[in-house]
Amino acid sequence: MHIELLPIPPSELGESPFWHPDEQRLYWCDIQAHCIRAWTPGSGELQAWPMPSEPGCCAPAPGGKLVIGLRDGMYLLDTRSSDLQCLTPLPHDTSVLRLNDGRCDTAGRFWAGSVFSPKTAPLAELWRLQATARGYQVQRMAGDNLTANGLAFSPDNRWMYWAHTGAHRIDRFAFDLATGTISDRQPWVQFPPKTEGQPYGGRPDGACVDVEGHYWVAMYEGGCVLRLAPSGAVVQRVELPLRCPTMPCLGGADGRTLYITSARHGRPASELEGPAPAGSLLSLRVDVPGLPVNFFKPKP
């Protein structure tokens, strides 16, 4: 497979990429740089919107807007005016918790997991934001995590996937689209832990799903992305020219370009230079297209 290094300066911590079908451009979060970035392949234009804290995840909303999970709550960014509106704060301790990976479901609800910075207890949670007649409502949906990642939905909306990165595990929930509820959490895929003196395959980070229901996951410190069948079996492994991919997304005009963000922050000097420096954005062509990105549904 030909892997392309996109002509974009490295991000400190790239995450939450998505392809905007109307604008034909790629958006992603640069968490440690406190900004949202966008790149238009057709023109080469690169844009950035500074944020007041770490943007863990983002998704499109109608009218040129983005819904964003910041450290203290959920926000709506107008990409044309740069106006940033707080939709709702989060009832968690912002000194040790911030939002991380997330996306919308097909009903327009925004789901976002958090990360517990001390990494000493499984206190990270999963939150769901939805618009109601009385305004925006945020609800805790799950817990027992250190660094929440890998959030994705199956094409038939039967399943929601959620990675427990620190435990090297991906869980699967039964998902009810009509009510926006999850149940019956079960371990789906367990990866080997890091063991001194043994080859390390990495731990599951961000993910996306293609139209066949296969789950593409970035293996942080494993230098690869994996394609998992609905059974959990690894059916494809793509080796990458950098060690810490963070999240893939499928996009481009035909949905068959796999974009992959990566991490630079905290990486050793040996990874910061070379043909594919840490933090670079990569792309490659795949055979099966992805699902179109789901838009957030704001209140009327």
Q: Are 162 and 126 in contact (CB under 8 A)?
A: yes
CB crowding 114-153: b at 16 or more within 10 Å, else e: bbbeeeeeebbbbbbbbbeeeebebeebbeebbbbbbbbb
Say if residues 74 and 88 touch (Cβ distance below 8 Å).
Answer: yes
Q: Are 294 and 106 in contact (CB under 8 A)?
A: yes
Rounded Cα–Cα distance for residues 100 and 247 (Å): 12
- Given a contact cutoff of 8 angstroms between Cβ atoms, the answer to whether 3 and 235 are in contact is no
Please list the residues that pair with 35 across neighbouring strands. 30, 50
Selection from 37, 181, 185, 38 nearest residue 111 by Cα? 181
| Two structure tokens written together for 292 | 């179109």
Instruction: Give the rounded distance of the alpha carbon of 257 from its chain centre.
Output: 16
Do 240 and 227 form a contact (C-beta atoms < 8 A)? no
Residue 205 annotated in active site: yes
Contact 59, 45 (CB under 8 A): no
The C-alpha angle with vertex 262 and arms to 221 and 8, in degrees rounded to 5, equals 150
In this structure, what DSSP letter does residue 52 have?
A: S
DSSP at 165: G
Dist. CA 55–CA 242, nearest whole Å: 23
Catalytic residue among 101, 171, 205, 210: 205
C-alpha to C-alpha distance for 221 and 32, rounded to whole angstroms: 18
> Which of the residues are catalytic?
205
